[in-house]
């Protein structure tokens, strides 16, 4: 098994992140720093990541959390802020977040120790839509909504087509649901700013067909068998 896949199956991180660990010298095979990113792990090899012995054999775990505002989507934080790991602290498995949500964005986030699934969900070719509910400043006109659906320039990058549904609005703000399959940094906020309606509140309500529902902020639930199969095949 290729080393980056081995690390992913051990629940350390995705294959992409595993390649970074290898390049940075954080992976050892039988006590020696690995210099070959395409290394095939053989039976009996001792694999260490960041000084800890790992194994690719483990029970896969899949959970959906409702990330609260003011929490970072990282495994650890040098500023000692709350991280998404605090939400799943009682699960006896080494989970990591699939993708990320900004500090000031709440909502649906999948956590797992299945690196292959994480790779699938974050790879652009699979086009898994993520739906957000936003409160934006001012009136989001039909013309602006059409621009968002078609794609807007957010600074050197034109977004792909989006699904936009205006729920309700007043003179001061509009509540709108938007679904995108890309994952550029702060993309939804930049999209609304591009049409003159900056985001006031933002919550991710769904990842593909998996919706947040009534899950309370700071809580998690395990994914059902059907939901896991959906994610593996979407």
Which residues have a catalytic role annotated? 102
Virtual torsion, Cα 148, 154, 160, 161, nearest 10 deg: 0
- Rounded to an integer, what distance in angstroms lies between the CA atom of residue 62 and that of residue 228? 7
Contact partners, residue 96, CB within 8 Å, separation at least 6: 11, 12, 13, 14, 75, 111, 112, 113, 118
For the stretch 198-201, contacts whose Cβ atoms lie closer than 8 Å and that sit 24 or more positions apart, written own/partner, are 198/136, 198/137, 199/134, 199/135, 199/136, 199/137, 200/134, 200/135, 200/136, 200/137, 200/173, 201/134, 201/135
């Amino acid at each position: 098994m290729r080393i980056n896949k081995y690390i992913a199956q051990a629940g350390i991180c995705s294959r992409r992140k595993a390649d970074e660990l290898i390049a940075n010298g954080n992976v050892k095979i039988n006590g020696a720093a690995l210099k070959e990113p395409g290394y095939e792990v053989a039976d009996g090899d001792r694999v260490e990541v960041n000084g800890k012995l790992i194994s690719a054999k483990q029970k896969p775990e899949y959970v959906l959390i409702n990330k609260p505002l003011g929490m970072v989507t990282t495994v650890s934080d040098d500023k000692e802020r709350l991280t998404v790991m605090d939400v799943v602290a009682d699960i006896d498995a080494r989970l990591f977040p699939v993708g990320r949500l900004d500090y000031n964005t709440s909502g649906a986030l999948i956590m797992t120790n299945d690196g292959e699934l994480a790779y699938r969900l974050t790879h652009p070719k699979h086009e898994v839509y993520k739906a957000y509910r936003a409160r934006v400043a001012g009136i989001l006109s039909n013309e602006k909504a059409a621009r968002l659906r078609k794609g807007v320039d957010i600074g050197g990058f034109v977004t792909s087509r989006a699904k936009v549904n205006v729920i309700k609005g007043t003179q001061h703000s509009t509540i709108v649901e938007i679904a995108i399959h890309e994952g550029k940094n702060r993309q939804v906020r930049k999209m609304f700013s591009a049409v003159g309606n900056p985001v006031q509140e933002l919550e991710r309500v769904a990842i593909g067909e998996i919706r947040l529902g009534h899950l309370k902020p700071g809580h998690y639930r395990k994914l059902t068998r059907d939901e896991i199969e959906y994610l593996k095949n979407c």
